[in-house]
Structure 1
Amino acid sequence: MSWQGKYEFPPPLLFLVGSGHVDKAAIISAAGDSVWATSSDFTIKPEEMKNIADVVAQAGSAADNARANGIHVAGERYVAFRVEDRSVYGRQGQTGVVIVKTKQAIIVGHYREGQLAGNATQTVEALADYLIKAGY
């Protein structure tokens, strides 16, 4: 699945970035093996995608490792201060990431300094709920 080639700015990313609560975003497969859509300035490496997928799937010791050592997204390390059933929240100073798993995808939203973490969380979680209802 990929929205990237079909739209200049894929609708799910437009929802996230257009909200004003997220400045960069990506949607990857739940397996962590492909990018469905991404902001042009937000590149998640293949090994980061796989690790993110393992963390949200609670595979092996991935979640414990994220809690202890943080999670890497787009070349940056974030302290994983909350790792739950479908969500991972990470922070680096005044910036952070919100990662949420749906049935088939993982949404990664980044917020910059000056954006509120709670608003970014609500925005990413709302898109995840919508995608789950739509079968994704």
Structure 2
Amino acid sequence: MSWQEYVDKSLLGSGNLDKGAIITAGGDAIWAITPGFDIQGDETKKIAAALAGGEAEDKMRADGIYIAGERFTFVQSRERHIYGRKDKEGIVIVKTKQAVVIGHYGEKVQPAHAASTVEQLADFIIQSGY
């Protein structure tokens, strides 16, 4: 499967997400993305830096998560993920060894279902060596 197929089938095909992307762990390239999900290069770099922890994560926690020009409130982070909300929509970001999986869900989706979908794809990518 190609990276784009993972976004299209595993993320969007679940029905739990309406937009998705897979970027490099360093945030310097986008491997696959939903058309119209206009994530900018500086946004990917900030996401990658925040997932590494430290000051970048603290700044994102204070300023919010910016994805495709939209601001999401920083809800929580753990060792490999960051979750954000904007009204009834949300964002799930999960890091693997070499990639970051990003999923956006709409207001009719339970956040836990969206998170599970992104986490499962990230687990699969890790098992595949990425």
Question: Same fold by TM (over 0.5)?
Answer: yes
- Which 5+ residue runs of structure 1 have no aligned equivalent? 5-9
Counterpart in 2 of 1:11?
A: 5
Q: Map 1:64-103 to 2 at 5 A.
A: 64-103=58-97
Q: Secondary structure at the match of 1:15?
A: helix
Distance in 2, matches of 1:134 and 1:124, equals: 15
Distance in 2, matches of 1:67 and 1:25, equals: 21
Equivalent AA in structure 2 for residue 77 of structure 1: R
Equivalent AA in structure 2 for residue 118 of structure 1: A
Distance in 2, matches of 1:57 and 1:12, equals: 24
Residue 27 of structure 1 and its aligned partner are, at CA, apart by: 0.3
Q: Secondary structure at the match of 1:115?
A: coil
Counterpart in 1 of 2:22?
A: 27
Residue 91 of structure 1 and its aligned partner are, at CA, apart by: 0.2
Equivalent AA in structure 1 for residue 33 of structure 2: T
Cα RMSD after superposing both structures: 1.0
Q: Secondary structure at the match of 2:10?
A: helix
Regions of 4+ moved over 4 Å: none
Equivalent AA in structure 2 for residue 75 of structure 1: G
- Which 5+ residue runs of structure 2 have no aligned equivalent? none
Distance in 1, matches of 2:77 and 2:61, equals: 7
Counterpart in 2 of 1:43?
A: 38
